[in-house]
Amino acid sequence: MQTADSTQPISRRGSVWRWIFGVVAACFVFAGVAVFNLVTLTREATVLRNEVFAALDVSARTRIQLSVGPVALTALRTGLSFVDRVPREVRLAFDAVRSASVGVYELRGKVGAHERANLFAATDKKMSRRGWTRVVGVNDARDTVLIYMPTEENGGGAQRICLVVCDRDQIVVVDATAKPEPLIELAGLRRGLASL
Amino acid sequence: MNHSLRFAAATLALSLASLTAHAVEPGYVDLGKFTPAEGCEFVEVNLHSTVLKFASLFVGKDDADAAALIRSLKHVRVNVIGYNDTTRAEMTNKVESVRRELESQGWAQIVAVKHGGKQEDVAIYVKAHDEDAIDGLVITVIDSCKKEAVFVNLVGNIKPEQIAAIGRDLHIDPLSRITVTPRKGA
C-alpha cells in the first residue's frame, strides 16, 4: 500500500514530462513544416514550373524559392499596424497580397525558339486540366510570358493568377492571390507620385 | 431518393444552361487555338468579364467613360501571330476562312482596306443587335510587311459610337479611326 503511494508522484511527473516533450516536439514539427512551406512553391506553381522545365528541355539552378501564405501575411499586416512610419505604399501592397509563391531559376543552357514555341501548348494542356485558362501569352525573340487565371469566374474579391516569365537567362514562376481594391489605390498613389 | 434526383437534375440543368449561355453569346467567335511559329512574334490576350471588371476599376479612377465602356464588354480576345515562309500560307488561309465564316453567319463587313496592293489587308465585321447596339466585333488583318496576322474579337453590348473609343482605350488602331452606323437586321 505504502509502495503504491510512493510511486504515484513519480508516475505523475513522468506524465508531465511526456506532455512537455510532446508539445516541444509538436512545435519543432510545426516549425519544420512552416520552414518547408516557406521555401517551397505552392502546388500550382510547382506544376507550372515542372511543365516549363520539361517543355524547354533545359536545366536550371534555383536562385529564390519562397512562399508566403495568408496566415503569415495576416501576421505581417498585424505587426505592421503597430509600427509607425511605414510608407502607405507598403501597407497597401501588404493589404493587397493575400498569398504569394515565387520561384526564380537561373538557366544553365540556351532555350531554342522551337522549345519556346512548344511551351505554350504544353503548359496550356497541363493547366487547363487543373482548371486554369491562359489570359495572356507573349512570345518574342527575347521573352516568353504566360499568365493563367482560374477558368471559373469568381464574382469579385481576391483574384488568383499563375504566371511564368522566361527570358534568356532566367525563369520566374509566380502563384499569387491579390485583392483589387488596394492595388487600385496603390496604382493611383504611384500615378500621383509620378505626376509630381 | 426523389430529393437527390431532383437536386441532380437541377444541377445538370443549371450547368447545361450556363454552358449554352456561353456558347450562344451572339458576338462571340471561336477563332480556334493559335500557337507561336518558331522564331516569330506571338501575342494572345483572352479576357473574360471578371478580368474586364477588374481592368475597368483601374481605368475608372482616371476615365469614367472608358471604365463604363470596358464594363460593357463581356469578352476580349486579341491575337497577333507572326508568320514565316513556312506558315505564311496557313495563316493567310486562316484569315480568309474566318472572314468567309463571318459572312456566312450574317456578320456585316464595315471596313475593308487594302494598302499597297496586298501588303496590308484589313477587314472589320460587326454583329448588330439592333440600330443602337452591336453584340460583337471582329477585326482581321494580314500585314505582309510585318509578317503578322491579327485577330480581334470584342463581345458585349457595344454602342456603335463607342467603337472608336474602344479603339483608343484598347490601343487598336484600325478601330480608333472609324465610325459605324449599323443597319437593322445586318
Inter-residue contact A103 to A45 (CB < 8 Å): yes
The average confidence (pLDDT) of chain B is 79
**pLDDT (mean) for B65-93:** 89
Per-residue pLDDT of B127-150, as tens digits, reads 988 777 889 999 999 999 889 999
Per-residue pLDDT of A98-130, as tens digits, reads 999 999 999 998 888 888 888 999 999 999 999
The most confident of the ranges A78-82, B137-141, B167-171 is B137-141
Q: Indicate whether this complex's ipTM tops 0.90.
A: no
* Residue A142 pLDDT class (50, 70, 90 cuts): confident
Residue B21, pLDDT score: 42
Size of interface A-B (CB pairs under 8 A): 65
Q: Where are the domains of chain A?
A: 1-38, 43-194
CA torsion B159-B161-B164-B165 (nearest 10°) is -70
Closest CA to B134 of B172, B104, B175, B99: B175
Provide the grid cell at A31: 516549425
Residue B1, pLDDT score: 44
Chain A CA closest to residue B47:
A135
Residue B23, pLDDT score: 52
Q: A residues 143-182 near B, CB within 8 Å? A: 149, 153-156, 159, 180-181
- Nearest Cβ partner for A184 among B38, B41, B58: B58
Per-residue pLDDT of A169-184, as tens digits, reads 899 999 999 987 787 7
Buried b (16+ CB within 10 A) or exposed e, A10-23: eeeeeeeeeeeeee
Q: Specify the 3-state DSSP secondary structure of A94.
A: helix
Q: What are phi and psi of B129, to 5 degrees?
A: -85, -50
